[in-house]
Amino acid sequence: MTGQMPAAVLLPPSQVEELFRTLTKAVRAFQMYLPNNPIYHRAVQNIRAAFAPIWASGQDRLVLQIVETDLVWDEQVVYHQPSKSDSFAWSLFKDGMRVLTLYPGVEEEEIVRFLDIIQRARNLSPDAGDDLLTLLWEQEFSLVHYHFTELIPDAGVPGLSGEGAYSRPAEDPAAQAAETKARVAEDAPERPSGVIDVEDFDSTLYWLEEAEVRALTEAITQEYAQDLRRNVLNIVFDVLEQRGEDEVRFEILDSLEAYLPHVLNAGDFRVVAQILREARLLGRRPDLMTPGQRARLAAFTDRLSEAEVLTQILQSVTEAQTPPAEDDLRELFGELRPAGLETVLVWLPKVADSSPVHQPLASAVDRLAESSPQEVVRLLQHPQSEALVATVDLCGRLKLGSAVPGLSGTLRHPLPAVRAATVRALEALGTPGALQLLEGALEDADREVRIAAAQAVGRRGYKGALGQLEAVVRGKADRAMDLTERMRFFEAYAEVAGVASLELLSAMLSPGTFLRRKEPTEVRACAALALGRLRTPESREALQRHRDDKELVVRNAVGRALRETQS
């Protein structure tokens, strides 16, 4: 028996995310424009349109958990703004709101009043008599429900309530001012007749109360602390969104393209990221932009990832005496497109690990590779690329299984460093197709690549390479080997063959008999080290029989192998 799927399941989190993107834009519009402005009315219409698919999905309410700078719906984060000064969620959380519930019909009138209350609460001075909770009480909402935690202020702290303070009480400021005024009057010359003193008409000593002066000071400080560039850009993008004429929109895009080099040269990467992010979001809206406008926006956002532009940016941030803030860089690099992956891979090794640039750049590499594996495969097909080794290492570190066909080509690259990096990546991937490619690397022309391949198949226990390893152990290889390479192949043979290799290795370690010749010293030493990799009672017993072998090299190898079996 099958039941009907709950209505809440039918609502994707992306739809709720879009709702809160619309709400935050509306808050910005309400702050900048009066109610009689067309943009203000358009923001109200956008809110109602954003709620329509929410209620159409069958939801009878929208319950949101407020966690610092995040809004969580159905265990999914649907709003995240790490900057507390710009965060809609933080405006609610800091005053104690923890749960917000919206009901159908809220979009008609109450949501606009609710957003207006949020904006008013943001602008309250610290010593104001009201707070967000009291402002909400005054409205008596019926379709907006909320839950606040009980905030208990600290008690008994000197200086908070006036009790327990250690400084002596200040004198009456009015008395001090009167005394000063009297002393000045005594020393001042006598006024000529007919001269009027403005103080004769002043009915009070102070024009403003102390709290009012403090509130004005804070308002002025806040006004001067605003980022005017971001405010202006918000207005520009509002106009770009509201005006649908091609000539208007293309004129705005021309201005933004001309403005972008200036902010890049100024090092204001947060503004650069804002421009690119807003352009990208608008370009994803076919209901708002025509195909020609979306193509223009796409070309605009792709400019940052062009090799020439991105190289200049990376050079400036890495050579700057005062590097940009890490958050600004992370926001900037978050707007990179897959086309910039090669440039970033070339630059990343040049940046010191301790540099504030390194971590945001490394995070951008991982994001681009995981989101666009096809770009990684494309780079593997360019043997002359400066980023080839870094790309191969990236495939292994992120375990990009789709890159195995491309790695088969880099395994034939003329440079041994590229082939060695490919062996490491294939071992990290560990898929059947990747391990099969390692069989060819066991016959590579470069000694280091052969050793790396032997160790890789040994650690992975890949049975497909057993025949090649056993041929080397039995002395049937077509090439000469030094002692180190021979040891690695013997050890790999023991790891792959397991206990089945015990008989052959024990026979090779033995000093020989009348009917069987003794193996060369280096072969016997390699056999001893390979037996140590088995770590079985039988292998330890075979090694114990040769602890006092007459040949020093063999004795040393047996001792080392016994220590490995005991570890």
pLDDT band, very low/low/confident/very high, at 104 (cuts 50, 70, 90)? very high
Across the chain, mean pLDDT equals 82
pLDDT band, very low/low/confident/very high, at 538 (cuts 50, 70, 90)? very high
Angle at 29 between CA 23 and CA 32, to 5 degrees: 150
Q: Are residues 237 and 129 in the same domain?
A: no
Query: Mean pLDDT highest for which of 67-81, 207-221, 429-443?
Result: 429-443
pLDDT band, very low/low/confident/very high, at 154 (cuts 50, 70, 90)? very low
Residue partners of 379: CB distance under 8 A and separation at least 6: 341, 342, 345, 385, 387, 388, 391
Q: Are residues 144 and 15 in the same domain?
A: yes
Assigned domain for 450 exists: no
The gap from C-alpha 461 to its chain's centroid, in whole angstroms, comes to 36
As a whole number of angstroms, the distance between CA 45 and CA 16 comes to: 17
User: Taking a C-beta distance cutoff of 8 angstroms, is the pair 356, 332 a contact?
Assistant: no
Q: State yes or no: pLDDT of 54 exceeds 80.
A: yes
Q: What's the structural domain count of the chain?
A: 3
At residue 536, φ and ψ (nearest 5 deg) are -120, 160
Q: State yes or no: pLDDT of 537 exceeds 80.
A: yes
pLDDT band, very low/low/confident/very high, at 200 (cuts 50, 70, 90)? low
Q: What is the pLDDT of residue 192?
A: 63
Give 291-319 pLDDT, tens digit per residue. 888 888 887 778 778 888 888 888 888 87
Higher model confidence: residue 163 or residue 327? 327
Q: What is the pLDDT of residue 464?
A: 94
**CB count, 10 Å around CB of 369?**
23
At residue 475, φ and ψ (nearest 5 deg) are 80, 25
Q: What is the pLDDT of residue 440?
A: 92
Q: What is the pLDDT of residue 316?
A: 80
Judging by beta carbons within 10 Å of its beta carbon (0-12, 13-18, 19+), is residue 230 exposed, middle or buried?
middle
Q: What is the pLDDT of residue 470?
A: 93
Judging by beta carbons within 10 Å of its beta carbon (0-12, 13-18, 19+), is residue 416 exposed, middle or buried?
middle
Assigned domain for 105 exists: yes
Written as six digits, the tokens of 50 are 């954003």
Q: In what side-by-side order are the strands of the sheet with 62-67?
A: 76-80, 70-73, 62-67, 97-102, 144-148
As a whole number of angstroms, the distance between CA 4 and CA 1 comes to: 10
Written as six digits, the tokens of 313 are 């940016």
Residue after which a domain boundary falls, among 94, 127, 148? 148
The label of the residue with tokens 């495969």 reads 377
Give 449-471 pLDDT, tens digit per residue. 999 999 999 999 999 999 999 99
Q: What is the pLDDT of residue 190?
A: 63
Give 322-343 pLDDT, tens digit per residue. 777 787 788 788 888 888 999 9
The label of the residue with tokens 């705005």 reads 252
Q: State yes or no: pLDDT of 164 exceeds 50.
A: no
pLDDT band, very low/low/confident/very high, at 197 (cuts 50, 70, 90)? low
Written as six digits, the tokens of 525 are 């030493």
Q: What is the pLDDT of residue 377?
A: 92
Written as six digits, the tokens of 439 are 């069989």
pLDDT band, very low/low/confident/very high, at 354 (cuts 50, 70, 90)? confident
Q: Choose the weakest-confidence range: 165-174, 420-429, 446-455, 544-553.
A: 165-174
Q: Positive or negative, the Cα torsion across 213, 218, 221, 223?
A: negative
As a whole number of angstroms, the distance between CA 181 and CA 206 comes to: 14
Q: What is the pLDDT of residue 557?
A: 92
DSSP string, 489-518: HHHHHHHHHGGGGHHHHHHHHS---SSSPP
State percent of the chain over pLDDT 70. 87
Q: Are residues 140 and 248 in the same domain?
A: no
pLDDT band, very low/low/confident/very high, at 41 (cuts 50, 70, 90)? confident
Q: State yes or no: pLDDT of 165 exceeds 50.
A: no
Assigned domain for 518 exists: yes
As a whole number of angstroms, the distance between CA 45 and CA 393 comes to: 51
Q: What is the pLDDT of residue 169?
A: 42
Assigned domain for 346 exists: no
Assigned domain for 54 exists: yes
Mean pLDDT for the stretch of residues 539-560:
91
Residue type (1 letter), 511: P
Q: State yes or no: pLDDT of 239 exceeds 70.
A: yes
User: Taking a C-beta distance cutoff of 8 angstroms, is the pair 297, 283 a contact?
Assistant: yes
pLDDT band, very low/low/confident/very high, at 170 (cuts 50, 70, 90)? very low
Q: State yes or no: pLDDT of 174 exceeds 60.
A: no
Written as six digits, the tokens of 251 are 């004129």
C-alpha R_g of the chain: 37
**151 by DSSP, 3-state: which?**
coil
Residue after which a domain boundary falls, among 272, 305, 338? 305
Higher model confidence: residue 205 or residue 286? 286
Higher model confidence: residue 390 or residue 121? 390
The label of the residue with tokens 């602008």 reads 123
Strand partners of residue 97: 148
| Domain ranges, residue 14 | 9-148
As a whole number of angstroms, the distance between CA 530 and CA 502 comes to: 9
Q: Which of 103, 101, 88 is nearest to 147 (CA)?
A: 101
Q: Are residues 38 and 141 in the same domain?
A: yes
Assigned domain for 286 exists: yes
pLDDT band, very low/low/confident/very high, at 473 (cuts 50, 70, 90)? very high
At residue 83, φ and ψ (nearest 5 deg) are -75, 110
Give 256-282 pLDDT, tens digit per residue. 878 877 777 777 777 877 888 888 888
Q: What is the pLDDT of residue 330?
A: 83
Q: Where are the alpha helices (DSSP H) in 320-383?
A: 326-333, 341-347, 358-371, 373-380
Assigned domain for 426 exists: no
Axis crossing angle, helix 13-32 with helix 38-56, rounded to the nearest 10: 160
Q: State yes or no: pLDDT of 166 exceeds 70.
A: no
Mean pLDDT for the stretch of residues 428-446:
93
Q: What is the pLDDT of residue 513?
A: 59
pLDDT band, very low/low/confident/very high, at 439 (cuts 50, 70, 90)? very high
Higher model confidence: residue 244 or residue 452? 452
Assigned domain for 233 exists: yes
Residue partners of 114: CB distance under 8 A and separation at least 6: 106, 136, 139, 141, 144
**284 by DSSP, 3-state: which?**
coil
Q: What is the pLDDT of residue 202?
A: 52
Backbone dihedral region of 498: left (phi > 0), alpha (psi from -120 to 50 degrees) or beta?
left
Q: State yes or no: pLDDT of 160 exceeds 50.
A: no
Strand partners of residue 77: 72
Residue after which a domain boundary falls, among 108, 128, 148? 148
